[in-house]
Amino acid sequence: AVALVVPLFSGTTAVTVAHAVPALPAIVPQPVSESAVTGSGFTLAAGTQVDVVSTDPAAVGVGTYLSALLAPATGFTLPVVSSTQPAGNAVVLDPNGPSTLGAEGYTLTSNGSGVTVTAYGAEGLFRGVQTLRQLLPAAVESPAVKPGPWTVAPVQISDSPRYSYRSAMLDVARRFYPVAQVKRFIDQAAAYKINTLHVHLTDDQGWRIAIGALPNLTTVGASTQSGFTGGTSWYYTAAEYQDLVAYASSRFMTVVPEIDGPGHTSAALASVANLNCNNQAIAPYSGFSVGISLYCLSDAQHVTNVSSFLSTVISTVAALTPGPYIHVGGDETPQATASQYASYVSAAASATTAQGKRVIGWHQLGQGTLPANSLLQFWGDAGDRSTVGTSQESASIQQVRSGVAQGAKFIMSPSDHAYLDMKYDSNTPYGLSWEGYVPVQKAYDWDPTTATAKTNGNSPVVPAAQIAGVEAALWADRAYSGSNNLPTSTSQFPEPSVYTDYMSFPRLPAIAEIGWSPQSTHDWTAFSQRLAAQGPRWTAAGVNYYAAPDVPWP
């Protein structure tokens, strides 16, 4: 840290200090350590080089990404060069830092003679570049040229994440998101150092990924959304999905595809007859209910049918997915007996491990036998609801306990804090409120290590060592309106970004900070001020955020 001594008084006369101690730049998520540096900072010019101290294509790619990121607002096309001995007066990206930084850690030094981001490889450089963005004026996020000057605030940062799994989920099943809209969300999430995109690809209201061997899944299963029927292309072709995966990877984000089951399966049951006990396909579903469907698992023949279906689907999806995980769902199956549920877990787990992938499931999956290295996603209530202590809550605790005992790691997405589809307050035009309202402070004020505590008499069910990270989940049951009053035709669809922006900003950055920043920095007042400084960035970028009343916007 650089000590700053600023005389506030000259003789006996109070003077206005022209160059006061700079407030630390407002960065979200809060870095591990951040200290002020004296001086005026480094101002980018048209010829400023982005100097990557490596020829590794991934590291050079981060340089190219940074140059492209800065181009629209600055009007500069900063040249990206690779040198072994950077000359200063540049933005230096050095991937040759010590291994102690880990895959995602970085240091960032910015002063009058330049900016240096040092990491142990390209991924850490990318995370550091997201911090660098926030050291520039808000207008840098503008898609059109702005006047500048483009001065990087002087600061010294050393940073690395609390958790390695920091995810955001899109429910493309209830509301179909065109590829461009998913990419937009990827960019928004990456800015807050989210490193995983969970895509909820299947549900009652739609099946969104082409499976070549089962064409009905898209001709029939993709024709509906929540509230709408008649679609012909509400799904991703294999090439579109691969394009999404590649785009996410360019933002150092892993895609986790979810094929939900054995419930939430009306789209599959409408497409593939032998998944139904009477071997008759059901009608496609476009309503708003949950807990309404189940694969037939009540006799050996149908268990075989379901297993074979899952093998086909999961092998197809796994082949398109470089990431290590397949999410097999497992939530909300009120009609399943214990043995039917166990058959599902077994079939889904074998189909997944057969592809060399790791299983993720909603925490209900803990009831079944999990393969080694599985992850469970806790979506229960972290706290203060009237169902605490009821049979529903204790069933949840048993499922979580069973997962813990099997060695599963947990992704924490407690619905009363991390569900971005919950309304902020009674005026929120979209979303649901079954878990109560989730104002920004509530999205921020929780800790993963105690998220299962209040469901268990204040003692956490998941040991800290078994927590892999966090997820912000943006369900889309009510992506058009909070009621069933929908536009009357699909031509009146607002872009998904209208909903996504409003529900995610400012709460997604709150969950991102829970995942990244040390618990010792957790402080609502400080966070709300740093969050407020993001508002002008979202305005510049055209993000339709909610100017929540609990945040002191500038």
CB of 379 to ligand TNX, least distance (A): 4
Asked whether 468 and 409 are in contact (CB, 8 A), the reply is yes
416 binds ligand TNX (CB under 6 A): no
How many residues bind ligand TNX (CB under 6 A)? The answer is: 10
Which listed residue (106, 285, 419, 424) binds ligand TNX by CB under 6 A?
Answer: 419
* Smaller CB separation from ligand TNX, 81 or 432: 432
Asked whether 134 and 110 are in contact (CB, 8 A), the reply is no
How many CB atoms neighbour CB 49 within 10 A?
20
* Smaller CB separation from ligand TNX, 24 or 432: 432
Strand partners, 411: 377, 469
CB of 18 to ligand TNX, least distance (A): 52
477 binds ligand TNX (CB under 6 A): yes
What residues numbered 422-451 form the site for ligand TNX, per CB under 6 A?
432
Asked whether 185 and 170 are in contact (CB, 8 A), the reply is yes
Residue 332 annotated in active site: yes
Helices (H), 18-159: 57-74, 122-135
Please classify residue 183 by burial: count the beta carbons closer than 10 Å to its beta carbon, then call 0-12 exposed, 13-18 middle and 19+ buried. middle
What residues numbered 136-155 form the site for ligand TNX, per CB under 6 A?
none
List the catalytic residue out of 34, 104, 258, 332: 332
516 binds ligand TNX (CB under 6 A): no
Which listed residue (236, 285, 344, 362) binds ligand TNX by CB under 6 A?
Answer: 362
Which listed residue (235, 379, 480, 545) binds ligand TNX by CB under 6 A?
Answer: 379
* Smaller CB separation from ligand TNX, 102 or 436: 436
* Smaller CB separation from ligand TNX, 444 or 475: 475
* Smaller CB separation from ligand TNX, 150 or 475: 475
Would you give the binding string for ligand TNX spanning residues 283-322, x where CB under 6 A is met?
-------x--------------------------------
DSSP secondary structure of 168-206? EEE-TTTSPPPHHHHHHHHHHHHTTT--EEEEE-EETTE
CB of 288 to ligand TNX, least distance (A): 10
Asked whether 157 and 33 are in contact (CB, 8 A), the reply is yes
DSSP tag of 352: H
What residues numbered 479-508 form the site for ligand TNX, per CB under 6 A?
none
Asked whether 375 and 359 are in contact (CB, 8 A), the reply is yes
Q: Residue 64: phi, psi to the nearest 5?
A: -65, -40
Radius of gyration in angstroms for the set of CA atoms belonging to the chain, rounded to a whole number: 24
Rounded Cα gap, residues 456 and 397, in angstroms: 7
Which listed residue (94, 159, 416, 421) binds ligand TNX by CB under 6 A?
Answer: 421
CB of 438 to ligand TNX, least distance (A): 11
Q: Which tokens hold the place of 8? A: 């506030």
What letter represents residue 129's amino acid? V
Q: Which tokens hold the place of 401? A: 């306990």
Helices (H), 92-178: 122-135
H or E element at residue 415:
helix 415-418
| Four-CA torsion 346, 205, 331, 441, nearest 10 degrees | 140
CB of 476 to ligand TNX, least distance (A): 7
Residues assigned a catalytic role: 332
Footprint of ligand TNX on this chain (CB under 6 A)?
290, 331-332, 362, 379, 419, 421, 432, 475, 477
